[in-house]
Structure 1
Amino acid sequence: MNQLSPNRPRASDQMWLDAALDLLVEAGVDAVKVMPLAKQLGLTRTGFYHHFRDREALLDAMIARWEDKNTGNLIDRCDAYAETICEAMFNLQDCWVDWDLFDAPLDNAIRHWARTDADLKQRLDQADNRRKTAIVAMFQRFGYEADDAEIRAMTILYTQAGYIAMEIAEAPADRIARVPAYVRLFTGQDPSRNEVERFRARHGF
C-alpha cells in the first residue's frame, strides 16, 4: 500500500474546495483549474478526481458552499429570536462583521462570475430574492407594512452590496461603532443601550 509522504497533506474534499474558493476570490473563476490547485496544495492532479468527478463538480460545490454560508446564514440571522426590531437588526448586522457568517469577498467574486454565466446569474437572482424575502419577513414580524418592509429590506441589501463592491477598507472597531446608527436608520427606531452593548460584547468590543 502506498503511504503519504510525511510532508504531503492528507487530501480531502474540504481542502480542494477551500483552495478553489480562495483562488476564485483572488483571480476569478477562469483561474480555478485542477493543475494550479494541485500545485498549490502539493498534491497530484490525479488525486483531485478521488474527490470531485471533474472541474464542473468542483464549481458546483463552490456555488453550494456560497449559498449555504452567505444566504443560509443571512436567513438564519433574520429568523433568530429577537424581542424588538432593533435586536433583530443587530442579529442581521452580525453577518456584516463576522466572516464566519458571511464572506463578503466570496459574495463579490460570485457576482463577478455570474456576469459571464447565465445559470449562475439565475441562482444569484434566486439567492438575492431569498435574502430580501427573509429581511421583509423580519420587519413584518414587528408590524411593518409590506411595502415599507420591502423598501427597508432593499435599502439594507443595496447598502451592503455597495460596501462589498467598493471593497471598503474599514477597521472592525469603526464598523462596530457605526452599527447602532445603521440600526436606527434602517428601522426608524432607537436601539436601547442594552441592545447596543450586547451586540458589541458578542463581537469583542
Structure 2
Amino acid sequence: MAATRTPRSSWIDAGLRALAAGGPDAVRIEPLAQALGVSKGGFYWHFDNRGALLEEMLDAWERISIEEAIAQVEQEGGDGRTRLRRLFALASARGDLLRIDLAVRDWARRDPAVAARLRRVDNRRADYLRALFGDFCADEGDVEARSLLVGALWIGNHFMAADHGARSRADVLELALRRLLA
C-alpha cells in the first residue's frame, strides 16, 4: 500500500494560517508539520525549501484575493452597484483573507519582492473597483476617489479603535458603503 501524502494545498493553507497569525517568521516547516499532524519529511516531497513554500503562499493569496474574488462577484452579473455590494459582502465574510492581507502588507515593508507583488495586487484591485464604479459614475475623479476610499476602508477600518456612539461599527460601515454607492 502506498503512503498517503499530505496534499501540497494543505501545506500552503497551513502556511497562510501561520502567516496571518504571526507573519512570515511564523511560517516554519516543523510547526507546520505539527499543525498538520505529519512529519516534516513530507514537506520536501512538495517544496524544495521554505522559500518555495512562501512563493506558493503568495501565489495562492493573489489568486484567492483577485481572480477567485472577481470570478465570484461576476458570476451572478448585475450592474456596477450590485457587483460592488456583492464584493463588499464577500470581503466582509472573509476575515481570514483580511488577516492574510494585513500580514502580507506588514511583510512588504521589509521585503521588496513582496512589496512589488502587493503593488500588483493593489493595482489589480483598484482597476476592478474603477471598472465597477465607472459603471455608474461619469466623472473620472469621482471614480478614482471612490476606489481609493473602498481600499482605505477595507484596510484602515481594522486599525481604527474609535467608538461610534449609539451606532455599531457594522452600522457605520454600512452607512459609508451606502454613500460610496450613491
Instruction: Tell whether the structures are fold-level matches, with TM greater than 0.5.
Output: yes
* Counterpart selection for 1:82 from 60, 75, 78: 78
The ranges of structure 1 where at least 4 consecutive aligned residues each deviate by more than 3 angstroms after the TM superposition are: 1-4, 73-80, 164-168, 174-180
CA shift, 1:71, in A, is 2.4
Specify the alignment match of 1:144 in structure 2. Answer: 138
Q: Per the alignment, do residues 181 and 50 of structure 1 end up closer, same or farther by CA in structure 2, a change over 3 Å counting?
A: same
Aligned length: 176
CA shift, 1:88, in A, is 2.9
* Counterpart selection for 1:120 from 99, 114, 118: 114
Residue 82 of structure 1 contacts residue 88 of structure 1 at CA under 8 Å; is this kept in 2? yes
Q: Deviations over 1:34-69 (max 9, x none)?
A: 122122322222211111121111001110111011
Q: Per the alignment, do residues 42 and 92 of structure 1 end up closer, same or farther by CA in structure 2, a change over 3 Å counting?
A: closer
Q: Per the alignment, do residues 114 and 77 of structure 1 end up closer, same or farther by CA in structure 2, a change over 3 Å counting?
A: same
Q: Per the alignment, do residues 109 and 74 of structure 1 end up closer, same or farther by CA in structure 2, a change over 3 Å counting?
A: same
Return 5+ residue gaps in structure 2 as ranges: 163-167
Specify the alignment match of 2:37 in structure 1. Answer: 42
CA shift, 1:108, in A, is 0.6
Specify the alignment match of 1:105 in structure 2. Answer: 99
TM (normalized to structure 1)?
A: 0.74
Correspondences of 1:16-95 after superposition (within 5 Å): 16-76=11-71, 79=74, 81-83=77-79, 85-95=80-90
Residue 19 of structure 1 contacts residue 37 of structure 1 at CA under 8 Å; is this kept in 2? yes
Q: Per the alignment, do residues 78 and 2 of structure 1 end up closer, same or farther by CA in structure 2, a change over 3 Å counting?
A: closer
For 1:63 and 1:167, locate their aligned partners in 2 and report how far apart those are by CA, in whole Å.
Answer: 29
CA shift, 1:180, in A, is 4.6
Please tell me the residue identity of whatever aligns with 1:56: G
Please tell me the residue identity of whatever aligns with 2:19: L
Residue 79 of structure 1 contacts residue 134 of structure 1 at CA under 8 Å; is this kept in 2? no
For residue 92 of structure 1, give the secondary structure of its aligned residue in structure 2.
helix
Specify the alignment match of 2:165 in structure 1. Answer: none
Residue 15 of structure 2 contacts residue 32 of structure 2 at CA under 8 Å; is this kept in 1? yes
Q: Per the alignment, do residues 74 and 150 of structure 1 end up closer, same or farther by CA in structure 2, a change over 3 Å counting?
A: farther
Q: Per the alignment, do residues 166 and 70 of structure 1 end up closer, same or farther by CA in structure 2, a change over 3 Å counting?
A: farther
Comparing 122-131 with 38-47, greater Cα deviation is found at 38-47
CA shift, 1:158, in A, is 0.5
TM (normalized to structure 2)?
A: 0.83
Q: Per the alignment, do residues 78 and 155 of structure 1 end up closer, same or farther by CA in structure 2, a change over 3 Å counting?
A: farther
Please tell me the residue identity of whatever aligns with 1:136: R
Comparing 125-134 with 68-77, greater Cα deviation is found at 68-77
Please tell me the residue identity of whatever aligns with 1:123: R
For 2:3 and 2:87, locate their aligned partners in 1 and report how far apart those are by CA, in whole Å.
Answer: 47
Please tell me the residue identity of whatever aligns with 1:182: A
